[in-house]
């Protein structure tokens, strides 16, 4: 197959972007980056330290929590959004080596007519619970408070965002320019149940929810709750699936709503352990968020990332592809497709890394390798669904 765009046309039709090419052009960021998250000069003025101030959130996953709340009357569905918001920041910063002096501030924007105070209480409690759960693993995050704004004229339901700061020694930064031909790519599963999780994870994460919701959920939701769909989106493509959020699906082992709301897995404890043990031998750590399996293309220089031994496609993503009619090359550019963290390493430490990951309840495997590429980086995916070049 010829070269495929990293942008998803199905996603774009729904008003979202997977690769965010326009945003990257607007901020002047090139096609390759040295670090997964961008470090800044140390506010304290110490040239030996770098500083991260990173912002992200749960995205439109909050709509799934909202639908489950409206269908069941239980506000506790909102609690896991705090995990999503925190992990989307924490794991990005962790991939760059930023695991010290962590402080988190949260920002919640809601339509108070639809989102009760009890939902906000659940989200705040969610932040407290996940930070306490991370402490035994040496991930110490200070909660500095935040802002809850009632902005019903702007927000249709609720937005759950946060900002994480970190101050770390520059010698600990993970410089992706260290990647080199001959490196192996290790993928760390997004499914199963890790040592930090209370239940099996569908692998959803917090990317691609706009496409997933509209592919799986039926028009029942948009008709009963019109606030969950932008009026600019055609009814022909919005909520065109066959399920309610409360429908149990055998292949998923849970309801559709639970699968879509499955908390974003954090790899931070695993990352911390790997960096302590291997340091510079870890050539890059990539959090497969926006851009899915093509995310890695933005890092390192003059390399081809050949992925030819991916995990089997998780049932949730197969269902999205089938019901949404999404081409497979777009699925790999939007969703993590089975692993949401990958590391490029020297082959000599690959087996040991896989063993360490299993101690955290996270399956890992060598999913590919790096080869030399003249010019721009390239990702080549060889899968049961086809061969795709990005």
Q: What is the pLDDT of residue 22?
A: 52
Instruction: Return the DSSP state at 382.
Output: E
In the predicted structure, residue 6 carries a pLDDT above the cut 60: no
Compute how many other C-beta atoms are within 10 angstroms of the C-beta atom of residue 226: 10
Q: What is the pLDDT of residue 116?
A: 98
Tokens of 383: 């899968």
Calpha distance 39→35 (Å, rounded): 8
Whether 236 is covered by a domain: the verdict is: no
Q: Name the residue among 93, 87, 80 with its Cα closest to residue 36.
A: 93
Rounded to the nearest 5°, which phi and psi values hold at 90?
A: -60, -50
Whether 244 is covered by a domain: the verdict is: no
Whether 343 is covered by a domain: the verdict is: yes
Query: Do 95 and 174 form a contact (C-beta atoms < 8 A)?
Result: yes
Q: Summarize the confidence of residues 121-146 as an average pLDDT.
A: 97
Helix (H, G, I), strand (E, B) or coil at 56: strand
Query: Do 230 and 15 form a contact (C-beta atoms < 8 A)?
Result: yes
Cβ contacts of residue 135 below 8 Å, gap of 6+?
Answer: none
Cβ contacts of residue 137 below 8 Å, gap of 6+?
Answer: 196, 268, 269, 272
Whether 199 is covered by a domain: the verdict is: yes
Rounded to the nearest 5°, which phi and psi values hold at 214?
A: -75, -20
3-state secondary structure 323-378: HHCCCHHHHHHHCCCCEEEEEEECHHHHHHHHHHHHCCCCCEEEEEEEEECCCCCE
Tokens of 305: 């990332």
Q: Summarize the confidence of residues 365-370 as an average pLDDT.
A: 98
pLDDT (tens digit per residue) in 162-214: 999 999 999 999 999 999 999 999 999 999 999 999 999 999 999 999 999 99
What rounded mean pLDDT belongs to the chain?
94
What domain count does the chain have? 1
User: In 207-349, which residue ranges form alpha helices assigned H by DSSP?
Assistant: 209-216, 219-224, 256-261, 268-278, 315-324, 328-334
In the predicted structure, residue 4 carries a pLDDT above the cut 90: no
Q: Summarize the confidence of residues 254-282 as an average pLDDT.
A: 98
DSSP 190-221: SSB--TT-SS-B-S-TTSSHHHHHHHHB-HHH
In the predicted structure, residue 91 carries a pLDDT above the cut 80: yes
In the predicted structure, residue 14 carries a pLDDT above the cut 80: no
pLDDT band at residue 11 under the 50/70/90 scheme: low
Containing structural domain, residue 295: 9-205+261-389
Calpha distance 87→262 (Å, rounded): 13
pLDDT (tens digit per residue) in 58-71: 999 999 999 999 99
Q: Residue 191 sits in a domain of what CATH number? A: 3.90.650.10
Rounded to an integer, what is the distance from CA 343 to the centroid of its chain? 15
Q: What is the pLDDT of residue 33?
A: 86
Whether 225 is covered by a domain: the verdict is: no
Calpha distance 350→186 (Å, rounded): 7
Q: What is the pLDDT of residue 10?
A: 65
Q: What is the pLDDT of residue 28?
A: 57
Vertex 31 angle, CA 29 and 33, to 5°: 70
Whether 60 is covered by a domain: the verdict is: yes
Q: How far is CA 366 from each of CA 188, 190, 206, rounded to the nearest angstrom?
A: 9, 15, 24
Whether 215 is covered by a domain: the verdict is: no
Q: Summarize the confidence of residues 32-61 as an average pLDDT.
A: 96
Q: What is the pLDDT of residue 2?
A: 52
Whether 237 is covered by a domain: the verdict is: no
DSSP 162-195: EEEEEEEEGGG---GGG--TTPEEEEEESSB--T
Calpha distance 258→241 (Å, rounded): 16
Rounded to an integer, what is the distance from CA 371 to the centroid of its chain? 26
């Amino acid at each position: 197959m010829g070269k495929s765009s990293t942008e998803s046309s199905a996603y774009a039709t729904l008003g979202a972007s997977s690769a965010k090419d326009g945003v990257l052009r607007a901020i002047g960021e090139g096609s390759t980056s040295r670090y997964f998250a961008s470090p800044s000069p140390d506010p304290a003025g110490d040239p030996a330290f770098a500083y991260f101030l990173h912002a992200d959130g749960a995205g439109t996953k909050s709509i799934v929590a909202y639908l489950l709340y409206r269908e069941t009357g239980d506000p506790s569905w909102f609690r896991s959004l705090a995990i999503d918001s925190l992990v989307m920041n924490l794991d990005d910063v962790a991939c760059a080596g930023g695991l010290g002096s962590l402080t988190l501030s949260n920002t919640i924007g809601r339509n108070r007519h639809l989102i009760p105070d009890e939902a906000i209480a659940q989200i705040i409690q969610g932040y407290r619970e996940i930070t306490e759960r991370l402490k035994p693993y040496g991930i110490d995050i200070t909660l500095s408070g935040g802002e809850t704004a009632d902005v019903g004229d702007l927000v249709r339901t609720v937005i759950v965002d946060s900002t994480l700061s970190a101050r770390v020694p520059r010698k600990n930064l993970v410089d992706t320019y260290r990647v080199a031909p001959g490196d192996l790519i290790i993928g760390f599963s997004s499914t199963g149940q890790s040592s930090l999780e209370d239940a099996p994870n569908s692998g959803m994460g917090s990317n691609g929810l706009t496409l997933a919701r509209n592919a799986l959920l039926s028009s029942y939701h948009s008709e009963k709750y019109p606030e969950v769909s932008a009026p600019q989106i055609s009814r022909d493509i919005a909520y065109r699936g066959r399920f309610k959020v409360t429908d149990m699906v055998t292949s998923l082992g849970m309801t559709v709503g639970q699968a879509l709301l499955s908390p974003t897995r954090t790899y931070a404890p695993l990352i911390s352990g790997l960096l302590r043990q291997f340091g510079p031998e870890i050539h890059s750590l990539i959090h497969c968020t926006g851009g899915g399996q093509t995310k890695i293309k933005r890092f390192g220089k003059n390399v081809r990332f050949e992925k030819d031994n991916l995990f089997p496609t998780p049932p949730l993503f197969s269902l999205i592809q089938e019901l949404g009619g999404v081409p497979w090359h777009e699925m790999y550019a939007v969703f993590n497709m089975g692993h949401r963290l990958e590391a490029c390493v020297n082959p000599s430490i690959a087996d040991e890394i896989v063993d360490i990951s299993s101690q955290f309840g996270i399956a890992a495997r060598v999913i590919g390798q790096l080869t030399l590429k003249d010019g721009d980086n390239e990702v080549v995916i060889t899968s049961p669904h086809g061969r795709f070049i990005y």
